[in-house]
Structure 1
Amino acid sequence: MADAAAVPFGARWKLRISAVLWFLLLAGFLLGLPVLLDVSWLVVAGLLVVALVLGLLIASLVRLVFRGQRRQPFLMSYLKAVLGTLFGLGIVVALPIYYAAVLTDLKPLTVPQATLSNGKQTVVFQGMMHVGSEPFYKGVVYDLEKALTEGYVIYYEGVQGSPEGDKWFNDTLAGGGDLSANYQMLSDVCGLKFQLDYFQLLRADMTAHPERHVAADVSTADMMHEYERLVAADPGFAARVQPAKADAAATTSSSEGLSGLIGLLDGGTAEQKRIAGYACRGFLTWTLGRPDAPSPLDPVILDYRNRALADRISKDTHPLIYITYGAGHLPGLLQDLKAIDPTWEIQSVKWQRVVEAPDDVSGRLSS
């Protein structure tokens, strides 16, 4: 007790706070270490080299600022600076991966399945994404098969190619590249699935009953003509879309770079693929979960296609229609349907989770 009383009150609190900080740094580093090692032991080695270099600078600055630090040997100050820097860098590098892993559970990405009706027709709008979890697509296919047995006609999203408009579409909107191939590679890295793989389960019914499966989207030529019409009719639109065209053209090189990165990750170890999957799913959840910023090309990409879809529905004699379209089309579609017939309204909405970690279930057979 006499020794404790001899230590000044302020010094005791400094020691306690220092001990707590070192404990938190060590605990955070140890929690992140398995992630860093799963990526590669070279990451840990690289962080150690950086810590050894920065430690010299940090130790010198600390000894210059704090008089008490100059009472201990420089080697001790340097060792503490290296360890503190190594622990801090490890936490900084591993934290985004941990955050991405929990983000898909904390803020799940969802799409609506909405039932619309005007009393004469019933439309089920199934929000879609190009890449998603296996349970989501299995649920969608199950609902589609059930809808077919109930007499629904299925409308599919997908801009249809045409010799006249394909080049314009790729140069102006798509930024070049094979989108389907990129989506497939992205799904592999993220531990997810590509939606077209699951729609193949309906191929037999498409062949037997083609009249029940409708490619309801516009063509690339249709979009090109609408784009040209808007450019000629609205100088403001023409001025706004020039930067958007440049951005789309620039995505060609970035898309190629992304394909190369995805290919590199796809060839990694099982641990690296697992870490990449966490990061990828978290990035998708964060990116797609944010409100969409308006694009200058929305009048062509969204508004025109929504009007065309609403017009097709209003002219269809089938009373039951099931639509699989991007979730972002629903508000505009409802507005355009109401413009044709004000009695259209949403009767119900069910939200479905799109992105989640794949199930990893294993067991052991008894001998």
Structure 2
Amino acid sequence: MTDSATIVGAGSERFKLRLSAILWFLLFLGFLLGLPVLIEASPWILLGVVVLALLLAFPIAWLVRRCFSGQRRQHWRTSYFKAAVATLFTLSALLAAPLYYLALQTALRPLTVPQATLSNGTKTVIFQGMMHVGSEGFYKSVIYDLEKALSDGNVIYYEGVVSDPKGDAWFSQTLAGGGDLSANYEMLGDACGLQFQMNYFQFLREDMAARPDRHVNADVSTADMMQEYQRLEASDPGFAQAVHADQAKSKADDATDGGIGQIVNLLRGATPEQRSLVGTACRGWLTMTLARRTGPSALDPVILDFRNRKLAERILADSHQNIYMTYGAGHLPGLLADLQAADPAWEIRSLKWMRTIDTPEDLSGAIE
């Protein structure tokens, strides 16, 4: 019996040692992953974590010695040292974990937009889904396809609500949050380490000037949207009630969440390493936010439905048989439905998906 108990006890000790070794390895791995993040964020943060670990180690070591009799057989300084190291490793991993989580969101759940070829047998429309901010590679690919479409004889349709003095103030206040949408998108792109789409369409300025008939702003004006909004507000009480409720909720959200403004404030005076960390977090946040399935907006009848109808009317009336268009991806289902309402022969002939958000390219070298 004694030999059997000794063997069981020895086996139990070996198991505890193996388990302890695994736990220490995992803690050390977490520390190694968290260390670069803390250093790049600020050496002061790392110093603060060390100080906090040293302080927390006192009650943790006391608690461990209180709960486990085996720990009381070792010297207090040994218990304290182990508690301090374990706490440091744990805090480092926990602080870095959210950033790694956001980075994984961008890598494992990428945002995509469609490039769909629509046709009714006689007219063909290539619908290139767009995002206002995205990765450099995405916009380069779009510009390449767009230039190829031009060389193939396509007319190009662009999204972009046309400025009109009659509706600009209303548009800014009602739909743009009281600001300039382009400026807001540029600010978002800068914070997230992404690009604003209009920066890449500048490459087409010369061709637009030389062949203006091939480049068409196919969107409505701010005055058109204001008139549609006023029409719906007067004719549909449910629309007006839903819009007012949405506006009240939006104001409440703005009051509790600084959003992109807080990110921009963080970037003022930030080092390149800190901007890189903020950009990683911002891209992950953007990926999660845009991937989240939400219900329809109260303003969809104006922002989507109205513009889709006008776009479908323009396509049907256009004498060109081949059209390449860059439009927000959310317009595709409604546009196809409107085209099919006029001619059931319209269908999607081909479809591919393009990734919009990725880690920025940062290539460098040295000439020896």
- Structure 2: how far apart are the matches of 1:96 and 1:67? 36
Displacement after TM superposition at 1:275 (Å): 2.1
Structure 1 partner of 2:32: 30
Alpha carbons of 1:67 and 1:170: their partners in 2 closer, same or farther (altered >3 Å)?
A: farther
CA RMSD in angstroms comes to 2.5
Structure 2 partner of 1:272: 274
Structure 2 unaligned residues grouped into runs of 5+: none
Matches for 1:112-131 after TM superposition, within 5 Å = 112-131=114-133
2:187 corresponds to which letter in structure 1? Answer: M
- Structure 1: how far apart are the matches of 2:205 and 2:249? 36
From 210, 215, 218, the equivalent of 2:217 is 215
Is the Cα contact below 8 Å between 2:172 and 2:180 reproduced in 1? no
Is the Cα contact below 8 Å between 2:163 and 2:222 reproduced in 1? yes
Alpha carbons of 1:108 and 1:306: their partners in 2 closer, same or farther (altered >3 Å)?
A: same
Deviations 1:333-357 (A, max 9, x none): 1111111111100111121121222
Displacement after TM superposition at 1:21 (Å): 0.6
- Structure 1: how far apart are the matches of 2:327 and 2:274? 33
Alpha carbons of 1:13 and 1:154: their partners in 2 closer, same or farther (altered >3 Å)?
A: same
Matches for 1:140-155 after TM superposition, within 5 Å = 140-155=142-157
Report the secondary structure of 2:307's partner residue.
Answer: helix
Is the Cα contact below 8 Å between 2:188 and 2:260 reproduced in 1? no
Alpha carbons of 1:171 and 1:248: their partners in 2 closer, same or farther (altered >3 Å)?
A: farther
- Structure 1: how far apart are the matches of 2:45 and 2:179? 33
Deviations 1:142-165 (A, max 9, x none): 221221222211111112222222
Matches for 1:133-212 after TM superposition, within 5 Å = 133-212=135-214
Matches for 1:15-94 after TM superposition, within 5 Å = 15-94=17-96
- Structure 2: how far apart are the matches of 1:139 and 1:330? 19
- Structure 2: how far apart are the matches of 1:191 and 1:347? 35
Is the Cα contact below 8 Å between 1:189 and 1:280 reproduced in 2? yes
Structure 1 partner of 2:325: 323
Displacement after TM superposition at 1:135 (Å): 1.9
2:141 corresponds to which letter in structure 1? Answer: G
- Structure 2: how far apart are the matches of 1:129 and 1:179? 13
- Structure 2: how far apart are the matches of 1:183 and 1:159? 15
Is the Cα contact below 8 Å between 1:175 and 1:248 reproduced in 2? no
Structure 1 partner of 2:12: 10
- Structure 1: how far apart are the matches of 2:252 and 2:177? 7
Structure 2 partner of 1:110: 112
Displacement after TM superposition at 1:74 (Å): 4.2
- Range with greater deviation from structure 2 (271-280 or 191-200): 271-280
- Structure 2: how far apart are the matches of 1:247 and 1:172? 14
- Range with greater deviation from structure 2 (171-180 or 111-120): 171-180
- Structure 1: how far apart are the matches of 2:59 and 2:181? 48
- Range with greater deviation from structure 2 (237-246 or 53-62): 53-62
Is the Cα contact below 8 Å between 1:109 and 1:354 reproduced in 2? yes
- Range with greater deviation from structure 2 (179-188 or 152-161): 179-188
- Using structure 1 for the length normalisation, give the TM-score: 0.89
Deviations 1:28-83 (A, max 9, x none): 10122112111111121222233233333433443444444444444443333332
- Structure 1: how far apart are the matches of 2:115 and 2:256? 33
Is the Cα contact below 8 Å between 1:133 and 1:193 reproduced in 2? yes
Alpha carbons of 1:58 and 1:177: their partners in 2 closer, same or farther (altered >3 Å)?
A: farther
2:358 corresponds to which letter in structure 1? Answer: E
Displacement after TM superposition at 1:171 (Å): 2.2
Report the secondary structure of 2:175's partner residue.
Answer: helix
Is the Cα contact below 8 Å between 2:125 and 2:325 reproduced in 1? yes
Alpha carbons of 1:307 and 1:54: their partners in 2 closer, same or farther (altered >3 Å)?
A: farther
- Structure 2: how far apart are the matches of 1:81 and 1:230? 66
Alpha carbons of 1:218 and 1:89: their partners in 2 closer, same or farther (altered >3 Å)?
A: same
Identity in percent: 60
From 336, 339, 344, the equivalent of 2:338 is 336
Alpha carbons of 1:157 and 1:7: their partners in 2 closer, same or farther (altered >3 Å)?
A: same
Displacement after TM superposition at 1:240 (Å): 1.7
Displacement after TM superposition at 1:256 (Å): 6.9
Displacement after TM superposition at 1:170 (Å): 2.2
- Using structure 2 for the length normalisation, give the TM-score: 0.89
Alpha carbons of 1:140 and 1:62: their partners in 2 closer, same or farther (altered >3 Å)?
A: same
Structure 2 partner of 1:237: 239
Is the Cα contact below 8 Å between 1:175 and 1:252 reproduced in 2? no
